[in-house]
Structure 1
Amino acid sequence: MIGVDAGSGDLLALAVLTQYRMATTEQMHRVIAPSARIEQTRRRLARLREEGLVDRITLPQAGRTRVWFPTAYGVQLASEWPEMRGRRPSRTVSDPTAVRLKAGHTLTVTETALAFLEDARRRGDMCRPLDWIPEVHHPIGSGEAVIPDALLYYRHGPSASGNGSMLRAFVEVDRATMGPERLAAKLTAYERLHRYVPVVPGRRPTFQEPAVEEWRRRYPLFPRLLFVLDGTGATGIENRIRALRAGAGLLAPSHFPYDVPILAAPLADLLQHGPSAPVWRPVHEPGRRVRWTGSGHRQT
């Protein structure tokens, strides 16, 4: 878990925008200061804008919603902080035109982050704003990589007593901008990441230093995989879940779909009931409804 000085609201606001890439005024308020008045968040963002650290655009098709994003200077400054080392997205957006083009997907990813953050606050679990890390680069060889929409760190249970469990998840947010088959193809990439062992030129594995999968250098257990589905009605959701199930079946004889929890849920259900509710469907058994915090293996 990442600890940013909560007393420095400006620091946290810039760190969140740098890491999340963009957010509306309301989203920023809900992330950094939900117990304060929203006017305080507006003043904070305006101050950061005056200092050249953040900027904004207005989306006319969304009730003239203001969308905030970090400037190149803001990204450079935030990236120097120890809390942000290696945490900024692989594709930072600091250009107003690029922000406008990417706003639909990125703001949906930010709304998904808020679903987890606010659910953790209600339940007494531990999930801080910077525990949602968009677009972490994971190489899988041949110059290719898996870049999930977000990597989530989440401590579930009574963390104060030391009995809680640390959960990690790769989160993929799909707004139905690609066909179900292309969505399901992502499972193949994650299966490759699960078994990918990097080859070091001129160095052979030994008994003392055996070759290990790349992901083990970062995680004690492979993060569970969560597909958050949006942009269609119930029929579209069912089509994509069926495609994910078919995609998992094509991974045979790999045990990846059984060794790693792979779950799917509509964003609408997360917003209505909270991510901790039993709204998730295992892709290999979509008739079931489970909790993402309890399905599969326990992570530490």
Structure 2
Amino acid sequence: MDAGGGDRLALAVVAQHRMATTEQMHLMIAPGARVEQTRRRLAKLRDEGLIDRVTLPQAGRTRAWFVTQYGAEVAGGFAELRDWRPSRLATDRTAARLRAGHVLTVTQTALAFVQDARRRGDMCQPLDWIPEVYHPLGGGEAVIPDALLYYRRTGDSEHDWSMLRAFVEIDRATMGPERLAAKIGAYERLYRYVPVPVGRPRGGTVQEAQEEWRRRYPLFPRLLFVLDGTGSAGVENRLSALRAAARLAGADYIRQVPILAAPLADLLRDGPSAPVWRPATATEQSVSWVAPSAG
């Protein structure tokens, strides 16, 4: 592996995104080069035992790449893979094949944000999308979003920018609308969760307890639901369920945390920054997720 060049980036992207097709990898890491260069790079990493692939017959024999156990060990030493946790896909080809549909949809969503940022002059690199970040709720429970997104929005001048963060949930219509909407309540639990201090503080100083999420984020991330695998009627059913769940949430949580939903098809057609998002509190509206007042 060429540690100082594109090989390291390719391995890091495959590892962090869990799985990606050849086309997705090409558009992530080398959109300005010929696709043959990306194919050769992936083949080289496979020859070195760092990544492997499964072929998906139902998708026109598309090749989907994932890290091996050895590749996960190597990538685990990369400083740029913050919050990264190895996936079962690295040791189980069957798990890789069975989870390919969901994982590749998550990667496709990530690619939409990366490409949109490039067009807008914003900053969202492939490694700014971090799948499955563990957020404890106490008692062995946790919230694990499909992805945590970091997105730097550029303003009117060089020094005018803002950092946006979002929890992203991808719904492929494999669960009922009510189960999807229940995630709003799960994130509210995370919003309010204050861990119980263990042991006596040094020096006898008692620190004021605070919510666990404040250890990671200056503001609670936005909550984005990306809807796929269903037609317009299914989308409306899911929006209705999200709206009902938002009505049951605390007013402070709803006021502070934008909760938005959009069909994946709209994101791919118009770009994630377009006004294709429907606020859970006002599903008749359409807004941009990057707008300061979104939600």
Asked if TM exceeds 0.5, the reply is: yes
Question: Is 1:228 matched with 2:226?
Answer: yes
Cα distance change, pair 48–106 in 1 and its aligned pair in 2 (3 A):
same
Length-normalised TM-score, structure 2: 0.94
Cα distance change, pair 34–6 in 1 and its aligned pair in 2 (3 A):
farther
1:248 to 246, 249, 256: 246
Quote the offset at 1:8 in angstroms: 1.4
Question: Is 1:275 matched with 2:272?
Answer: yes
Name segments (4+ residues, structure 1) moved above 6 Å. none
**Distance in 1 separating the partners of 2:39 and 2:224:** 33
Q: What secondary structure does 1:212 align onto?
A: coil
Q: What secondary structure does 2:208 align onto?
A: coil
Paired residue type of 1:93: L
Q: What secondary structure does 1:140 align onto?
A: strand
**Distance in 1 separating the partners of 2:135 and 2:75:** 22
**Distance in 2 separating the partners of 1:224 and 1:78:** 29
Cα distance change, pair 159–86 in 1 and its aligned pair in 2 (3 A):
farther
Contact 1:148 1:171 in 2 (8 A): yes
**Distance in 2 separating the partners of 1:170 and 1:200:** 26
Cα distance change, pair 16–267 in 1 and its aligned pair in 2 (3 A):
same
1:12 to 9, 14, 23: 9
Counting only pairs closer than 5 Å after superposition, residues 114-263 of structure 1 correspond to structure 2 as 114-158=111-155, 161-203=158-200, 209-251=207-249, 253-263=250-260
Q: What secondary structure does 2:174 align onto?
A: coil
Higher relative contact order (CA 8 A, sep 6+): 1
**Distance in 2 separating the partners of 1:159 and 1:21:** 36
Quote the offset at 1:86 in angstroms: 2.8
Gaps in structure 1 of 5+ consecutive residues:
none
Length-normalised TM-score, structure 1: 0.93
Correspondence for 1:24: 21
**Distance in 1 separating the partners of 2:197 and 2:5:** 43
Contact 1:159 1:165 in 2 (8 A): no
Question: Is 1:39 matched with 2:48?
Answer: no
Quote the offset at 1:174 in angstroms: 0.3
Q: What secondary structure does 1:161 align onto?
A: coil
**Distance in 1 separating the partners of 2:99 and 2:261:** 23
Paired residue type of 1:77: V
Quote the offset at 1:265 in angstroms: 0.3
The Cα offsets for residues 232-290 of structure 1, whole Å up to 9 and x where unpaired, read as 00000000010001111122x44212210000000000000000000001001111111
Contact 2:133 2:148 in 1 (8 A): yes
Quote the offset at 1:138 in angstroms: 0.2
Structure 1 window deviating more from structure 2 (52-61 vs 158-167): it is 158-167
Cα distance change, pair 153–212 in 1 and its aligned pair in 2 (3 A):
same
Paired residue type of 1:217: R
Correspondence for 1:49: 46
Contact 2:83 2:130 in 1 (8 A): no
Q: What secondary structure does 1:242 align onto?
A: helix
**Distance in 2 separating the partners of 1:285 and 1:160:** 32
**Distance in 2 separating the partners of 1:7 and 1:219:** 31
Quote the offset at 1:159 in angstroms: 8.9
Q: What secondary structure does 2:106 align onto?
A: helix
Correspondence for 1:284: 281
Contact 1:18 1:88 in 2 (8 A): no
Q: How many residues align?
A: 291
Gaps in structure 2 of 5+ consecutive residues:
none
Quote the offset at 1:67 in angstroms: 0.6
Quote the offset at 1:85 in angstroms: 4.2
2:63 to 44, 63, 66: 66
Quote the offset at 1:7 in angstroms: 6.1
**Distance in 2 separating the partners of 1:126 and 1:160:** 14
Contact 1:157 1:163 in 2 (8 A): yes
